[in-house]
Chains A and B, each alone.
Chain A
Amino acid sequence: DIQMTQSPSTLSASVGDRVTITCRASQSISSWLAWYQQKPGKAPNLLIYKASSLESGVPSRFSGSGSGTEFTLTISSLQPDDSATYYCQQYNSYPRTFGQGTKVEIK
């Protein structure tokens, strides 16, 4: 199974800060990676697919990059509404696997 490791597990940043979350795969997954945002009590929401493609309707301050085993999700200017938990998921092979999540808090 491919293990997905996110870092950090929690981060606290101020409004307007640039925030970066890293996701590392235990083996190459090419660009088959998605990023999701989840708020408490809600279903996850797709932000990025195929590592760097922005889902329709997602604010342009979100961006994704990487390929192979190392990926990043960047929020260029953190907004209060971005307080949430973020997950990466690989869909290169089965079983599909998620990272453990990164909780983003607003200072």
Chain B
Amino acid sequence: EVQLVESGGGLVQPGGSLRLSCAASGFTVSTNYMSWVRQAPGKGLEWVSVIYSGGSTYYADSVKGRFTISRDNSKNTLYLQMNSLRVEDTAVYYCARARYYYESSYWGQGTLVTVSS
């Protein structure tokens, strides 16, 4: 059974850093197209970043240069390193995996990041 479990969220001050983790089971992270999607409180979904099985990465303009997506094959875990956090980065962050093409077929439960002083 495919499972994704995010962790690492919490309260951080503006300008701070946080690393989110997404522990996967039931499949291999390194051979799949993996994404991060976020949702600010009461708002819609916003795509954040993706990593391909080959290692290519893409980012939303709003996080480019501040966030880094990566994975640890030995831990079968996806990460999102978030630096220079802003109040507008406050959101629930979801990791997701594609099943067919590049849609998000499987989702974690999300982890809340709050950026506030």
Contacts and interface: CB of A to CB of B under 8 A. Distances in A.
Contact of B110 (A36, A43, A97, A101): A43
Interface residues of B, number: 22
A87 B110 contact: no
For this complex, into which size category does the number of interface residues on chain A fall? 20 to 34
Contacts of B58: 94-95
A46 B104 contact: yes
B87 interface: no
Interface stretch (A17-25, A47-55, A65-73, A75-83): A47-55
A53 B99 CA distance: 13
Contacts of B46: 98
Contact of B44 (A32, A53, A94, A101): A101
9 contacts: A36-B45, A43-B108, A44-B107, A53-B100, A55-B105, A87-B45, A95-B60, A95-B61, A98-B45
